[in-house]
Amino acid sequence: MRITNHLEDLQLRIKAAADVAGRNVNDITILPASKRQSVDAIHEAVNAGCTAMGENYVQEALQKIEILGQTIDWHFIGQLQANKTKAIAEHFSWVHTVMSARVAERLNKQRPATIAPLNICVQVCIDPELSHGGCATANVQPLCELIATLPRLRLRGLMILPMALTDHDQQRVPFRQLHDLYTNLLNQGLELDTLSMGMSDDLEAAIMEGSTMIRIGTALFGARNN
């Protein structure tokens, strides 16, 4: 019941933030970040109502997918390595960390035609000094336009992983910049519906700036030992 209780607390936090932002809480999705979590913990999260899991490491994720199956919507949220794209293309529903045309084209080529197109978010580097990596803002629109043409991929939105900050107003800055970029892309005619931004310690700031999907590890599963 520990994870169930955490989920209830998390939902209250999200509802409170959505109310302050004047947003509909139903427009915000929780993506559990299940890196280093046990199969039993994931089972509990699923039983509590979670339908998707975000994984950072391919080999770890493949072991979980083999046990838990495709009833879970698997999202890849870790650093993409070119030699891992085939496994990701074959076993995941979403990838949040596409940063280059090369990786996008590999995923498209390796995505089986017998399953739905792979949902893609472009990871954006708003400011190199405040980011853990991503596509430079000047290159985001061309990359999104390319992804939109690839038949085995479906462009969904943008993702950011900013530097950890404790001040709420400072946390909001990169999220606001990503939202502005997202709005500009919509105005250019690109079809987007997802802003993947915000984690356990900054979800309120992300929700204030329009996040539609928050990636939550600690606030749901508890602190990891490693």
CATH number at residue 60: 3.20.20.10
Q: Please report the pLDDT score of residue 81 as a whole number.
A: 87
Q: Which run of H or of E encompasses 77?
A: none
Q: Tell me what pLDDT residue 215 has.
A: 98
Average pLDDT, the chain: 95
Q: Give domain status of residue 226, yes or no.
A: no
Instruction: Please determine, for residue 128, whether its predicted confidence score (pLDDT) is greater than 80.
Output: no
Are the C-beta atoms of 220 and 29 separated by less than 8 Å? Answer: no
Within-domain flag for 38: yes
pLDDT tens, 15-61?
A: 999 999 999 999 999 999 999 999 999 999 999 999 999 999 999 99
Instruction: Say how many C-beta atoms besides its own lie within 10 A of residue 148's C-beta.
Output: 15
pTM of the model: 0.96
Distance CA 79, CA 219 (A): 22
The stretch 83-91 carries a mean pLDDT of: 96
| % the chain with pLDDT above 70 | 97
Give me the number of domains the chain comprises: 1
Q: Give the pairing of strands 213-216 and 135-136.
A: unpaired
Within 116-212, strands assigned E span 118-125, 135-136, 153-159, 194-196
30 sits in which H/E element: strand 29-32
Nearest in space to 153 (alpha carbons), one of 204, 193, 98: 98
Which burial class, exposed, middle or buried, applies to 152 when counting CB atoms under 10 A from its CB (0-12, 13-18, 19+)?
Answer: middle
The pair of structure tokens assigned to 46 is 């699923």
**pLDDT score of 100 more than 70:** yes
| Residue at 85 is within a domain | yes
Residue 153 inside a domain? The answer is yes
What range does the domain containing 30 cover?
A: 2-221
**Do 195 and 178 contact (CB within 8 A), yes or no?**
yes
- Cβ–Cβ under 8 Å, residues 137 and 178: no
State residue 130's pLDDT score.
62
**Residue 19 forms part of a structural domain:** yes
Nearest to 214 by CA among 12, 2, 10, 16: 10
Q: What is the pLDDT of residues 161-190, one digit of tens each?
A: 998 999 999 999 999 999 999 999 999 999
